[in-house]
Structure 1
Amino acid sequence: MNLFYIQSSIRGMSYVASFLEDNFIGMTWPGTGNLEEMLPEEWNERLRGHYKLEETELAGVMKDFDVFVHTMQDGDYVVIKDDEWAYVGDLGDYYYDDSLGIEEDFICHRRGVTWLGRIPLEDLNDKVQALIHQTGTLAKFEHPVSQAQLDRYLTGMNEPTEGTEGKNSPATKVDKATIDAALHVMRQALDSEDINIRVRAAEAILQYARSQ
């Protein structure tokens, strides 16, 4: 598993709200088609055909696409940020969506994301601070993901309030039958027509899986 950072401000406009609400991250450069179905040489031709890029910029865009389409994998972590918070999500597959159009600012190259939680920027450790302050569009965390120390925040988003520690402490045991029944309910919720219910069920299942 790897951790990535992606810029959420594109040409001065923040897409954090869109990423969070619609459960995706993405890059612009519309009009190039689904890059997963092409060789890098074809990417180069498509980019040259649609955009007037100098060689240095073209090389940078090609590198970003290689990371976004091929290096990132389903199940990796991704982090985005605004002025106060870092938002951590579980990555899904790459897809191309130009259903709204192919104007310059449209984000057509996408990956689905299940958002797991948010962390105050000042609580991020030095390694993650370095990651989110890189200037490029995409950056990979060049350490084991455990060194990002994110799980302790994500699994503790619903920490017990003062005076209720005993109710949710690790010492409180839940029998296997109850756990199995709860997981069954969450799996059924994944098929709900309500997107919010599906997302919450997915988050709960992923967090349970990581706690094992």
Structure 2
Amino acid sequence: MNLFHIQTAVHDIDRRSSFLADNFIGIAWPGTGDLEMHPPAAWKERLVSSYKLEGGELAASMETLHTFAEVMQDGDRVLIHDGHWIYIGDVGDYYYDDSCGIGEDLICHRRGVTWLGRVPLEEANDKVRELCHSSSTLAKFGHPVSQAQLEHMTIDAIEKSNDAPSVHVDGATVQSALDILKAALHSDKEDLRVRAAAAILQYTKA
């Protein structure tokens, strides 16, 4: 499992609210087309022809596309942040969504995200804060994920709209789910422990 940080500003518009509400992350350059349907050489050609990129800017854009489409994997962790909070998400598969077109203000390169919760920025260790303050569009944590110490932080549930419909679940089902999560806390897989801890903390704060 790897850990990444992604910038929420796309074309100078802060997309953090959309990322959180619609459970995805995304990057620019929709004109490249579906990255899974074309080889990197085609990405480069389209970055040059559609966006007139060259030199260092072209290289940086190619690196971002490569990281987003190929290095990042289902089950990895991603962080976004604002001035007060770091939001922690479980990354899903890459997909290309051009259903609304490929205008420059649209985000077609996407990955689904299950948001696990948030932690105060000030509680993160130096390595995590350094990752969050990276100037790169998409940055990979340069240390073992265990050194982020995310599982040791108190993860708050992300506030949801009060308009969302409530769903009743009987007590026996809730207890069975909690028993499974408690057992997962002792798994030898770090990502499973993190997910279980986040889910339990979200339940206790509900």
Quickly name the TM-score band, shorter chain normalised. Answer: 0.7 to 0.9
2:196 counterpart of 1:207:
yes
Return the offset for 1:12. 2.6
Where does residue 55 of structure 1 map in the other structure?
55
Where does residue 19 of structure 2 map in the other structure?
19
Once residues 12 and 121 of structure 1 are traced to their aligned partners in structure 2, the CA distance between those partners, rounded to angstroms, is 22
Instruction: Classify 1:121/1:185 alpha carbon distance in 2 versus 1 (closer, same or farther; 3 Å).
Output: closer
Where does residue 152 of structure 2 map in the other structure?
152
Q: What aligned pairs does 1:57-76 form with structure 2 within 5 A after superposition?
A: 57-76=57-76
**Superposition TM-score, scaled by structure 1 size:** 0.74
Return the offset for 1:183. 7.2
Once residues 126 and 179 of structure 2 are traced to their aligned partners in structure 1, the CA distance between those partners, rounded to angstroms, is 39
Instruction: Classify 1:36/1:184 alpha carbon distance in 2 versus 1 (closer, same or farther; 3 Å).
Output: farther
2:177 counterpart of 1:182:
yes
Return the offset for 1:33. 1.1
Structure 1: tracts of 5 or more residues without a match? 159-176, 187-202
2:110 counterpart of 1:110:
yes
Once residues 40 and 48 of structure 1 are traced to their aligned partners in structure 2, the CA distance between those partners, rounded to angstroms, is 12
Where does residue 129 of structure 2 map in the other structure?
129
Once residues 137 and 111 of structure 1 are traced to their aligned partners in structure 2, the CA distance between those partners, rounded to angstroms, is 15
Instruction: Classify 1:131/1:100 alpha carbon distance in 2 versus 1 (closer, same or farther; 3 Å).
Output: same
Where does residue 83 of structure 2 map in the other structure?
83
Instruction: Give the counterpart letter for 1:34 in structure 2.
Output: D
Q: Matched residues, percent identical?
A: 56
SS in 1 for 2:32: coil
Structure 2: tracts of 5 or more residues without a match? 158-171, 182-191, 201-206
Return the offset for 1:84. 1.3
Please give the root-mean-square deviation of Cα atoms over the aligned residues, in Å. Answer: 2.9
Q: Which moved more, 1:29-38 or 1:1-10?
A: 29-38
> CA deviation digits over 1:145-186, x for unaligned, max 9?
1110111235x547xxxxxxxxxxxxxxxxxx9788437999
> Would you say how many aligned residue pairs link Structure 1 and Structure 2?
175
Instruction: Classify 1:53/1:16 alpha carbon distance in 2 versus 1 (closer, same or farther; 3 Å).
Output: same
Return the offset for 1:30. 1.1
Instruction: Classify 1:3/1:210 alpha carbon distance in 2 versus 1 (closer, same or farther; 3 Å).
Output: farther
Contact 2:117–2:198 under 8 Å retained in 1: no
Instruction: Classify 1:129/1:206 alpha carbon distance in 2 versus 1 (closer, same or farther; 3 Å).
Output: closer
Where does residue 204 of structure 2 map in the other structure?
none
Instruction: Give the counterpart letter for 2:196 in structure 1.
Output: Q
Query: Which structure has the greater CA radius of gyration?
Result: 1
SS in 2 for 1:36: coil
Where does residue 45 of structure 1 map in the other structure?
45
Instruction: Give the counterpart letter for 2:177 in structure 1.
Output: A
Instruction: Classify 1:180/1:36 alpha carbon distance in 2 versus 1 (closer, same or farther; 3 Å).
Output: farther
